[in-house]
Structure 1
Amino acid sequence: MPDIREPGYKIGELLASVQEVFASDEKAKNDQIKRVNGIFQLRASRDGKEAIWTVDLKKEGKVSKGEAGKADVIISTSDENFILISQGKLSGQKAFMTGKLKAKGNIMLATKIESVLSAAKGKAKL
């Protein structure tokens, strides 16, 4: 399993934990694929730079670093906002409405990112 962490990005740590959950828990992975049925491209900004990850919950149930195929939705926000969303301290919908999060593509699919990020709760060391 390739390391998908990106130095300085907390979302990379969180996504590595999501990747571990998918690799070790087939039922959790299949449940997410059934529930979500889409491909996310996550773009996190930090200190004027951007890192990109792809979360495939359409076929494979895997997380990869960089752009991987055609995403159903592209979600862009700061690294910190991704973490706040995963912790339940910031609603993804509120972040979108206030301009803290941008989404292109299937906006309804974007609303499912919170459940995807929470798949690693308790595993990520943030």
Structure 2
Amino acid sequence: MSEANAIFEAMLGRFDADEADGMEAVFQFDLDDADSYHLSIEDGKCEMGTGEHDDPTVTLSMDVKTLKEVMSGELDGMAAFMQGKIRADGDIMLATKLTQIFPL
């Protein structure tokens, strides 16, 4: 299993359905040094897919190291965005909820 895949598997395990209540969203992750992944949230469930989604709500571009640091709490997502380590397109406010939907 790739490092990126392991990070997304861990995120699925931490999915907080209460935080995602009523949410319908697709988070597209375009990783600079790995395959692309997307997480689809609908009806209180989260599913992982590989590759490009047809209609993502928000697209986040970064390298695997940045993803790992943000999802482990080592790096604040907003700080990473301000430093240019994360590029975002689409519903950027939704991206700020990632650590609430997938808490540590």
Q: Percent identity?
A: 22
Give the structure with the higher percent helix. 1
TM-score of the pair, normalised by structure 1: 0.69
Q: Which amino acid aligns with 1:33?
A: A
2:52 paired with 1:52: no
Q: Distance in 1 between matches of 2:51 and 2:78?
A: 24
TM-score of the pair, normalised by structure 2: 0.81
Q: Distance in 1 between matches of 2:39 and 2:30?
A: 11
Aligned residues: 103
Q: Distance in 2 between matches of 1:35 and 1:111?
A: 17
Partner of 1:93: 78
- Equivalent residue of 2:17, what SS? helix
The runs of at least 4 consecutive aligned structure 1 residues that moved more than 6 Å come to none
2:100 paired with 1:115: yes
- Note the residue ranges of structure 1 that are not aligned, 5 or more in a row: 23-27, 122-126
Deviation string, structure 1 residues 58-101 (Cα, Å, up to 9, x no partner): 34521111123311100001100000001111111001111110
Q: Which amino acid aligns with 2:38?
A: T
Partner of 1:34: 21
Larger radius of gyration between Structure 1 and Structure 2 = 1
- The CA deviation at 1:35 is 6.9
